[in-house]
Amino acid sequence: MENKVDIQKINKIIEKESAFIDLLRSEMGKVIIGQKNMIDRLLIGLLAKGHILLEGVPGLAKTLAINTLSKSISGSFSRIQFTPDLLPADVIGTQLFNVKQSKFTVKKGPIFASFVLADEINRAPAKVQSALLEAMQEKQITIGDETFKLEEPFLVMATQNPIDQEGTYPLPEAQVDRFMLKTVISYPEIEEEKQIMRSNLDQTMNEVKPVVTLKKIINAQKVVKQVYMDEKIESYILDIIFATRFPEKYNLSNLKPLISYGASPRGSINLAMAAKCFAFINRRGYVIPDDVRAVVYDVLQHRIGLSYEAEAENLSSVDIITKIVNEIEVP
């Protein structure tokens, strides 16, 4: 019985603390038409202190989404356009010699913001990619002999063009793993696109106002950890992760030759955290299997290596996750 009372108590706390989510959603909805999935993933990344990799063809409001989020939270925003000639110093900053004072002073780069949009990350060479990814991981930056802590909250949303487009440098697997979520953005529905077209032609785009403080977000990042996760849900998450590594143990021997490597422990941590955040943004104090299923593709699709055999059969990591999720028993 005691456990049940606890869940009710947690539920009340979460319901109170997550009230701002509806405000944020409706404020972003003034500008972003449709794309509910993308908005939810941005909120999950923000609450989990994770980072997001968005993939989709140009023109699907990826830049607009993070800009709108930063405006509705009154956070600082910066956009870095990744190009083949970009240098690490263009991202993190550099030391400049001050002639008057006869010493070096630090000029901070655009990474020093709460919301950073890394646009077309796969158009920049490896050195620049790794400078950004190190900042994402360490939440601090060293310029010369000085170390600077990055702002809180700190959310990087990187966009990448589909890999087969001209002039792209694919992100190495170890670096892609640093992103909590990878979300593939699809085209809007016809009715949504009609609305998008009309509001752009009439120039009736609404002004976004700050509706949530940064302090509230930092508090929510702590509260989200209180969302209750039953041991059965933990086992469910681990079964999914282990099935990507040892499919033969889960009655999925046919997947063995298709997977070159499975998800790392970072995958299980992020899947559990994303499920908690998904419950939170749906104003619930406990995780249900549907929360795990809702985020499993975004958390795992960039963490499973495909073999040549899978590529020859034209199978994607999404197909493999679908087969695993359909096989693993739901608690």
Domain(s) labelled CATH 3.40.50.300 in the chain stretch across: 22-218
Of the two residues 72 and 56, the one the predictor is more confident about is 72
Helices (H) and strands (E) in the chain, counts: 14, 11
Give residue 146's pLDDT: 81
Give residue 1's pLDDT: 33
| pLDDT tier for residue 165 given thresholds of 50, 70 and 90 | low
Is residue 172 over pLDDT 90?
A: no
Domain(s) labelled CATH 1.10.8.80 in the chain stretch across: 227-327
Give residue 2's pLDDT: 40
pLDDT-above-70 percentage for the chain: 95
The class level of CATH for 22-218 reads alpha beta
Query: Helices (DSSP H) in 93-178: which residue ranges?
Result: 126-138, 173-176
Report strand pairing: 305-306 vs 259-261: antiparallel
The CATH number of the domain covering residues in 227-327: 1.10.8.80
What global pTM score does this model have? 0.87
In terms of Cα–Cα distance, which of 154, 158, 159 is closest to 137? 154
Average pLDDT in the 252-266 region? 90
| pLDDT tier for residue 176 given thresholds of 50, 70 and 90 | confident
Enclosing H/E stretch for 30: none
Give residue 325's pLDDT: 92
Average pLDDT in the 274-279 region? 95
HSE (side-chain half, CA atoms, 13 Å) at 277: 26
